[in-house]
Amino acid sequence: MAFEAPSTPLDELPAWKELQAHADQLRGRSLADLFADDPGREEAMHIEAEGMYFDFAKQRATPETIGLLVELARQAGLPERIEAMFAGEKINVSEGRSVLHVALRAPEGEKIDDASGHDVVPDVREVLGRMATFSDEVRSGGWKGATGKRIRNVVNIGIGGSDLGPAMATIALTDYTDPEMRFAFVSNIDGSDFHDKTRHFDPAETLFIVVSKTFTTLETLTNARTARDWIVSALGEDAVERHFVAVSTNEKGVEEFGIDPANMFGFWEWVGGRYSMDSAVGLSLMVAIGPGRFDEMLAGFHAMDEHLRSAPLEKNLPVIFGLLSVWNTSVLDCPTVAVLPYAQELSRFPAYLQQLEMESNGKHVMLDGQPVRWATAPVLWGEPGTNGQHAFYQMIHQGTEIVPSEFIGFSEPLHPLGEHHDMLIANMFAQSEALAFGRSAEELEKAGSPPEQVAHRVCEGGRPSTTILIDGPLTPRALGSLISLYEHRVLTEGVCWGIDSFDQWGVELGKVLATRLIEELTEQQPPPPDHDASTVALVRRYRGLRGRAT
């Protein structure tokens, strides 16, 4: 059965109108009031699933709010959309594609069909098997460079989803990587990125993994050609096939580059870039942590996928997470979200989530092409604790903008050094408490605060947050479940907002203009400029500073 987009916009759903009225009733009630009025609030407003304790009692919501949000999800067709995704229906409406990243972590023997009725799981498992064979060969020293030296440096060249996912996960799982090897990720077209990442590497011991579905991505191919020149200048033309492999679907382009197609790892059109790190795009990660650990991560992804599909909406962790985001963004008018992992290993997790959230749901039209009439896709940002506490928490506590916050912590440290971990988690709990309940003038006066400081030291509270406390330390499985949680939160948001979370047309225009401008900046006799006056002036200024005719 073909996917049919729902026809009723968000603001015409009965539950939406009830939520607006409900929000008016809650205005003026503090979080302290909500806790005082409901002794069972914490019990009603947490979910335990897949090794996570998901505490949303400090959100500016009540159990009644959650009930209305769940009804909104039903009226928006979320259960049907979840099933449509798993059934391979083309829920990526504007591109006419299935959305089957859940198949990337399906265990062997499970059946997931694409829109044509083809079971894609055997295809996925075949590529994973080839990846495992290759990874073991590199990790064991069996794969040698052109001079016979073993590979000790692996450099992933990609951008966007071909970089952020594997880079974030490799940093997150550093403790599980081969200590005899080094891993780097080059994405920026700025030449400093390539230079800085490779300056201490021996070309004879370096392997490049070029990740580009089409093998035409401007930034990736520019960096790949620079890497090729770097290898050829040191080792000769024949060295290319021993120092490059590709993750792509463009066999001809890969072969023309000089990479043996036997060393090309493919993926499929139903894998969006920002949902692809558990496909062949994660080859660098598999080399880093080994196939066994990679499988553990896939199992974590799959466990959360199954929870999404089987848990009732009111106890469904990613669904409630997404509905709270809709509540904060579209009802309470909170335009940003802070992601605050209290785990240094997750230092790149906020950056990864920026693409996942904002490229997915930063849309201005609905599935039917009509303009959106409500806020979508909050600006997502953050840093690991406790660093952020000495940077931007001042604004979260006392600024004029309400910033919903998401705290992520682990019950066990990877490195049990003295009392470090207890102090870290104490800070995480303290910040969520302080944001929720604040500190009044009366409390400050009673504590003896100088009168002239009282107004400046007051924290109003009422700042919403969610805390995700994960059992044990950060493991590959825990990371997989955490990523899957956020992936399905994005799905939940997009269904409620009535938008296509799986296309990304907004990045196209800039690429088109950049291609034209490259010629205008570099050609000896450039074509006449066809831009606004500001851009023309910038082009002339740049050419003049570079000693080119203006």
Residues involved in catalysis: 359, 390, 511
Q: Do 151 and 144 contact (CB within 8 A), yes or no?
A: yes
Query: Measured between alpha carbons, how far is 147 from 432 in angstroms, rounded to an integer?
Result: 56
The closest of 396, 482, 537, 506 to 169, measured between CA atoms, is: 482
Q: What are phi and psi of 502, to 5 degrees?
A: -120, 5
Residue 320 vs residues 249, 454, 521: alpha-carbon distances, Å: 37, 38, 50
Query: Measured between alpha carbons, how far is 93 from 74 in angstroms, rounded to an integer?
Result: 20
| Tokens of residue 500, six digits | 């296509």
Q: What are phi and psi of 282, to 5 degrees?
A: -85, 20
Query: Measured between alpha carbons, how far is 54 from 221 in angstroms, rounded to an integer?
Result: 42
Chain-centre distance of CA 544, in angstroms? 40
Alpha helices, DSSP H only, in 162-217? 164-172, 191-198
- What does the angle CA 304 – CA 117 – CA 115 come to, to the nearest 5 degrees? 70
Query: Measured between alpha carbons, how far is 480 from 482 in angstroms, rounded to an integer?
Result: 5
Q: Which residues of 390-427 are buried (b: 16+ CB within 10 A; e: fewer)?
A: eebbeebbeeeebbbbbbbbbeeebeeeeeebeebbeb
Assign residue 53 a region: left if phi > 0, alpha if psi is -120 to 50, beta otherwise? beta
| Tokens of residue 261, six digits | 């197609």
Query: Measured between alpha carbons, how far is 88 from 3 in angstroms, rounded to an integer?
Result: 9
Burial class (CB in 10 A: 0-12, 13-18, 19+), 368: exposed
Q: What are phi and psi of 392, to 5 degrees?
A: -115, 0
Q: What are phi and psi of 29, to 5 degrees?
A: -95, 125
Residues 6 or more apart whose Cβ sits within 8 Å of residue 451:
445
Q: How many H helices and E strands in the chain?
A: 23, 11
CA dihedral (155, 158, 161, 163) in degrees, to 10, reads: 30
Q: Do 308 and 193 contact (CB within 8 A), yes or no?
A: no
- Other beta carbons within 10 angstroms of residue 434's beta carbon come to 17
Burial class (CB in 10 A: 0-12, 13-18, 19+), 41: middle
| Tokens of residue 357, six digits | 């959230």
